[in-house]
Amino acid sequence: MNVYDTANRLAQEIKQSEEYVNYKMAKETIALNQELKNKIQNFEQLRYDEQLTAMQTGKNDEEKMKKIQEAYVELIEIDEAKKFLEAETKFNILIADVNKIIGESIQDVMK
């Protein structure tokens, strides 16, 4: 069996997975509501900025963390946003798990 064929089959299976389909639908729903889309983008920017700060300084910025928490609480009160964030999380877990499986299988030559 060709590794590229397997990779392409895996890509197709991911696209057919419940996690992918739900995430794609949630993303499309958010795209129809510009105000909500902007709120989610702002939330994601806050998370990114905090991650960058934490990587650069080695510690969390409490003020940024508070803003992230406030934005999250506001978002999960909106049904479409809550569904989007849940679908995004589940999809990210799926991809992380696949990456972990592949990484562990080749770990012996990566050291």
pTM of the model: 0.86
C-alpha angle with apex 99: 88 to 10, nearest 5 degrees?
Answer: 85
Phi first, then psi: give them for residue 42, nearest 5 degrees: -65, -45
Q: How far is it, in rounded angstroms, from Cα 37 to Cα 79?
A: 13
Q: What is the mean pLDDT of the chain?
A: 95
pLDDT the model gives residue 40:
97
Going along the chain from its start, the domains and CATH numbers come out as 3-100 (1.20.1500.10)
pLDDT tens-digit series, residues 68-111: 999 999 999 999 999 999 999 999 999 999 999 999 999 999 87
1 has pLDDT over 80:
no
DSSP codes of every residue in 39-97? HHHHHHHHHHHHHHHHHHHSS--HHHHHHHHHHHHHHHTSHHHHHHHHHHHHHHHHHHH
